[in-house]
């Protein structure tokens, strides 16, 4: 299977090349030329498999330049019971809110307690194998822009991985104290962490710019290095996310929640549009998904886009209590637009150019109609987010984080607006302990809170009896290793200095 660039259909590369490179030279994103189709028999066969078995099947159908042994090794190393706190890395939890059933896909049992682990525990293995196939002997430099969770998950995945170096940039005021502490205490010889004076979009734009500056790439090449990406623009990030939607469907059949062949909806708290796009790709493969419910916080650029066909990032940026969704430029939307425009690189390029120069674009009536047929967009503010956390905890004893609460709230709005009773899978993207302060404020409104993050973790634990994930508990006594802060304009120099090749 080959991969094309969304901005140049003449570019056609292997999976290994797509993963090693991260982004196409023309600035486009790599997409598979076609999707493997799973008929009834193929899907039924997966019912009997565990998560790793399902993952191996999906990976082997996309990574046709990898051997079965290579894929086995990647999957077995990534999804261990030790790293994911149990045999099933992505378990379902079934609860309800009022009359609405909630089928919650818990994606946060990995080492950094956010769903990014599902992809970032396996990406380093895929990447080192891809490098060997394409650029043997070179070191990959992983540049990451993070709104909080990707950074830590990437650091944890890449720490001390041979032939890789990783540099993470995060918005200085845009991540939670726990997220900051998680990153600044990161161990590993090959890791660097730096804050930038700007928001997530500034960090992402800065990283993209470094990627596409020829003089910087040449400098790396002279030193036997090349850039790669661990952001969800990398195909190796998206592919692992397809697996858990297929796996959730199988689990729901096995658990008697749906009959085989029934349609489901998915509800995804969305930022960069990677997670929800993976569910769309699963549907392209034959997974019976009816609706994709795209949940946003106050940064509701996607809600507006789905409703109007106009993407406009010229608007106020809000810092919310669901910081991993504080994004105005959702990179992976580009891949959906490419698909909906009939794989038109020309059309996609025009829209992306308009986004760069004008900060907005408007899709055609046809693309808008296709999008509205399958996607529902909704959003909620911080107050509604906390209200949802509180109701779910008080009524059902189920504690969720702020991002998941946005999804639950938007799902309630969707059910109210449409009356659609299709069973729905809600992606739960982080442990509530990653956002203890906001979750506490929701559960015990008005009550005085302790000063430090870890006292709040303890308080939340005392109140809810929900176990604190071991990786967060063990951070308490760790000292920060990193404290650099840089201007956005200085990011290129910072990278070269960190690599020792100024």
Ligand X SMILES: *Cc1c(COP(=O)(O)O)cnc(C)c1O
Q: Can you tell me whether residue 14 is helix, strand or coil? A: coil
Residue 9 or 406: the one with the smaller Cβ distance to ligand X is 406
Count H helices and E strands in the chain, helices first.
Answer: 22, 16
Buried b / exposed e along 122-153 (16+ C-beta atoms within 10 A): bbbbbbbbbbebbbeebbbbbbbbbbbbbbbb
Interface with ligand X (CB under 6 A), residue from 275, 341, 385, 441: 275
CB 401 to ligand X: min, Å: 7
Residue 313 sits at the vertex; the CA angle it makes with 309 and 319, to the nearest 5 degrees, is: 125
Could you list the beta-strand ranges (E) of 2-81: 3-5, 8-13, 30-32
Stretch that binds ligand X, among 84-92, 160-168, 204-212, 269-277 (CB under 6 A): 269-277
How far is residue 376's CA from residue 355's CA, in Å, rounded to a whole number?
A: 22
Interface with ligand X (CB under 6 A), residue from 324, 385, 409, 436: 324
# of chain residues touching ligand X (CB under 6 A): 16
Helix (H) or strand (E) holding 290: strand 289-296
Write out the two tokens for 396.
Answer: 């059902």
CB 230 to ligand X: min, Å: 12
CB 208 to ligand X: min, Å: 15
CB 305 to ligand X: min, Å: 14
How far is residue 432's CA from residue 464's CA, in Å, rounded to a whole number?
A: 11
- Which ranges of 140-265 does DSSP label H, i.e. alpha helix? 149-158, 177-184, 200-211, 214-222, 235-254
Determine if 274 is a binding residue for ligand X (CB under 6 A).
Answer: yes
Residue 157 or 271: the one with the smaller Cβ distance to ligand X is 271
- Tell how strand 375-379 and strand 289-296 pair up: parallel
Interface with ligand X (CB under 6 A), residue from 429, 436, 438, 486: 429
Determine if 114 is a binding residue for ligand X (CB under 6 A).
Answer: yes
Determine if 297 is a binding residue for ligand X (CB under 6 A).
Answer: no
Residue 90 or 226: the one with the smaller Cβ distance to ligand X is 90
How far is residue 244's CA from residue 205's CA, in Å, rounded to a whole number?
A: 29
* CA nearest neighbour of 306 among 392, 178, 391, 414: 414
CB 37 to ligand X: min, Å: 24
Interface with ligand X (CB under 6 A), residue from 249, 403, 425, 498: 403
Residue 203 or 216: the one with the smaller Cβ distance to ligand X is 203
Tell me phi and psi for residue 176, to 5 degrees: -75, 160
Stretch that binds ligand X, among 160-168, 273-281, 374-382, 484-492 (CB under 6 A): 273-281
Determine if 385 is a binding residue for ligand X (CB under 6 A).
Answer: no
Write out the two tokens for 92.
Answer: 């379902």
Residues 129-188 that bind ligand X (CB under 6 A): 149
Determine if 111 is a binding residue for ligand X (CB under 6 A).
Answer: no
Write out the two tokens for 313.
Answer: 């990032």
Residue 220 or 472: the one with the smaller Cβ distance to ligand X is 472
Interface with ligand X (CB under 6 A), residue from 89, 198, 240, 269: 269
Q: Can you tell me whether residue 364 is helix, strand or coil? A: coil
CB 233 to ligand X: min, Å: 11
CB 221 to ligand X: min, Å: 30
Residues 54-93 that bind ligand X (CB under 6 A): none
**Residues paired with 486 in a beta bridge:** 196
Residues 227-266 that bind ligand X (CB under 6 A): 232
Interface with ligand X (CB under 6 A), residue from 230, 430, 440, 491: 430
How far is residue 502's CA from residue 500's CA, in Å, rounded to a whole number?
A: 6
Give how far Cα 65 sits from Cα of 78, 99, 372, Å.
20, 48, 36
Q: How many CB atoms lie within 10 A of CB 177?
A: 14
Residue 97 or 430: the one with the smaller Cβ distance to ligand X is 430
Residue 138 or 291: the one with the smaller Cβ distance to ligand X is 291
Interface with ligand X (CB under 6 A), residue from 272, 347, 348, 386: 272
Write out the two tokens for 291.
Answer: 């609706």
CB 140 to ligand X: min, Å: 22
- State the residues that interact with ligand X by CB under 6 A: 114, 116, 149, 232, 269-275, 324-325, 403, 429-430
């Amino acid at each position: 299977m080959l991969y094309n660039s969304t901005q140049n259909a003449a570019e056609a590369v292997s999976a290994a090349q797509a993963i090693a490179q991260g982004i196409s030279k023309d600035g486009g994103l790599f997409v598979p030329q076609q999707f493997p189709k799973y008929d009834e028999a193929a899907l039924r066969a997966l019912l009997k498999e565990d998560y790793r078995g399902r993952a191996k099947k999906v990976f082997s159908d996309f990574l046709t330049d990898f051997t079965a042994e290579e894929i086995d090794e990647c999957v077995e190393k990534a999804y261990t019971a030790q790293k994911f706190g149990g045999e099933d890395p992505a378990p379902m939890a079934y609860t309800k809110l009022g009359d609405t059933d909630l089928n919650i896909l818990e994606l946060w049992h990995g080492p950094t307690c956010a769903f990014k682990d599902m992809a970032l525990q396996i990406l380093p293995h895929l990447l080192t194998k891809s490098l060997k196939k394409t650029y043997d002997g070179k070191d990959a430099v992983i540049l990451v822009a993070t709104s909080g969770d990707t950074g830590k998950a990437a650091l944890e995945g890449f720490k001390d991985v041979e032939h890789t170096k990783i540099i993470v940039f995060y918005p200085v005021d845009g991540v939670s104290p726990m997220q900051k502490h998680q990153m600044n205490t990161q161990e590993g010889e090959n890791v660097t962490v730096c804050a930038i004076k700007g928001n997530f979009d500034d960090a992402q734009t800065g990283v993209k710019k470094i990627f596409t500056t020829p003089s910087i790439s040449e400098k790396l090449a002279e030193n036997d290095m090349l850039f790669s990406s661990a952001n969800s623009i990398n195909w190796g990030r998206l592919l692992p996310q397809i697996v858990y939607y297929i796996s959730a469907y199988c689990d729901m059949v096995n658990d008697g929640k749906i009959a085989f062949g029934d349609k489901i909806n998915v509800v995804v708290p969305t930022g960069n549009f990677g997670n929800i796009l993976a569910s769309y790709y699963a549907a392209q493969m034959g997974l019976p998904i009816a609706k994709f419910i795209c949940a946003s916080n106050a940064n509701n650029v996607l809600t507006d886009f789905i409703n109007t066909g106009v993407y406009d990032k010229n608007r106020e940026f809000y810092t919310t209590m669901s910081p991993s969704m504080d994004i105005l430029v959702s990179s992976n939307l580009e891949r959906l637009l490419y698909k909906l425009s009939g794989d038109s690189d020309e059309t996609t390029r025009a829209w992306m150019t308009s986004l760069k120069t004008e900060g907005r674009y408007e899709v055609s009536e046809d693309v808008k109609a296709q999008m509205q047929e399958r996607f529902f967009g909704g959003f909620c503010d911080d107050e509604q987010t906390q209200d949802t956390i509180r109701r779910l905890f008080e009524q059902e004893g189920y504690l969720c984080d702020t991002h998941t609460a946005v999804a639950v709230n938007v799902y309630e709005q969707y059910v109210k607006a449409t009356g659609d009773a299709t069973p729905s899978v809600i992606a739960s993207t982080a442990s509530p302990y990653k956002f203890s302060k906001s979750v506490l404020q929701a559960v015990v409104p008005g009550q005085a809170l302790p000063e430090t993050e870890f006292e709040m973790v303890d308080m939340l634990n005392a109140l809810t009896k929900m176990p604190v994930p071991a990786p967060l508990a063990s951070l308490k006594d760790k000292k920060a290793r990193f404290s650099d802060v840089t201007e956005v304009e200085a990011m290129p120099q910072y990278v070269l200095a960190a690599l020792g090749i100024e």
